[in-house]
Amino acid sequence: MKACEGVPFSGSSAHSSLDNADLKQPLIIDAKLPKATTTIDCAQLTPKQIVKVKGHSVLSASCDLTAKSIRFELNDSHSSFDCQGALLSTRVDDASTASAIMIKPKTDSAIEDITVANCHVDGYGHALHIRQYSQPNQRYARGLIDPAANRALAPSDIRVINVSSQNSINSGMFVGDHVHGVSFDKVRIQNAGTVGLYLEFGSRDNVIKNSVFVGNGFRTFKPNREAIAVDSSSNNRIENNQFIHNGAGSILLYRNCFEHADDSTRGNHFKRTESSRDNMIRGNTFNDEPVGVWVASRQSRNLKGFECGAYLLKQTPFASYHLDSAKDNQIIDNRFEQVEQGIIVEDDGTLIAGNQFAADVNLPISVGSEIREESAAGAIKNTIIKNNIFTGKTVEQAIKIREASKTATHIEQP
């Protein structure tokens, strides 16, 4: 493979401030995988086949899996799968929302130490789905609600290296409930129908780095979605990524309000009890976005249609507001360009430090929530804003704080 070959970037428009070379992705990099124990011969695979990956497996060289709807499952610990740059895509007649690559135990027991590398996926429900054996609603129904007990059943220590997703029906990559210790390095997620990369409730200790998210969340006739959803997920690091032109913004942190609480048949029917807290968002670039980072993005949103079952703050015949939770997050050393709202803060304990906001960012920082102020939870507090750079704006123009939150917001600007 020539050095210049790679998965092309097909974004909707060029951005002069971004070097398009950064958006190219090589088909193959050295992922430092163990020596292969199995070579999967692509010539032997049939359309719509589900391949069980065993041991340390590689696809045969120059493998073409386009328009074949072939799927791969990893069910065992201490295993790896290297596509060696293969492109996987779905058949025209395939309306399935199944995933291209699934990491899932064979029973209700944890698996660990698994790597997927050099796979490039077009279509499918998800390019990659990491999940437990049983659905959340099944565990919830039998009273298994303790977060630590759920995490003990979930996959952990997963590495995803140089994997790309474009045109997925749902989220490009999905980290299931209570999954932990997943590292995404050099991934590219583009044109996902919903969220680019989803961190489901109870997941934690994940790393998303050196990756590109572009044009996600624009599925027709649905509300726009974001590049990364942090949903009741904690202690994650999101570092050194590029976010470009995503539907609802780049990174939204929130706690699901126990949506559709009366419908126990839904697979994700499970009351969220954990905050999206202690996350580090550092060294990223946000370009052409409605919002860069939104802390507690559901706090001021009318969730009437979500049929929520928890954390009610205020209800009218036409509206329903619920207490969101995304505490003690850090947003450090990021760059925002051509963004409508850089950082929105609607929960407590946020540190915003060392960020750079270009002149074309309409409102760099906003703190406060009228809905929460009217409740027993009170104003947003313990926000620290320091050493940020606002091009073309005074501090007063760049930082908007609701009156009730001013005394509990600490600003140190040079």
- Give the chain's domains with CATH numbers: 78-342 (2.160.20)
SS3 for 20-46 is HHHHCECCCCCCCCCCCCEEECHHHCC
What digits encode the pLDDT tens for the residues 187-202? 999 999 999 999 999 9
The pLDDT-based confidence of 10 (bands split at 50, 70, 90) is very low
Residue pair 173/127 in contact by the 8 Å Cβ criterion: yes
Whole-angstrom distance, CA of residue 399 vs CA of residue 31: 43
Stretch 390-394: mean pLDDT: 98
What digits encode the pLDDT tens for the residues 84-136? 999 999 999 888 999 999 999 999 999 999 999 999 999 999 999 999 999 99
The pLDDT-based confidence of 43 (bands split at 50, 70, 90) is very high
What digits encode the pLDDT tens for the residues 82-95? 999 999 999 998 88
Residue pair 227/248 in contact by the 8 Å Cβ criterion: no
Residue 23 has a pLDDT of: 64
What digits encode the pLDDT tens for the residues 272-319? 999 999 999 999 999 999 999 999 999 999 999 999 999 999 999 999
Residue 7 has a pLDDT of: 52
Q: What is the pTM (predicted TM-score) of this model?
A: 0.95
Residue 212 burial (CB count, 10 A):
24
For the chain, the average pLDDT equals 94
Residue 222 has a pLDDT of: 85
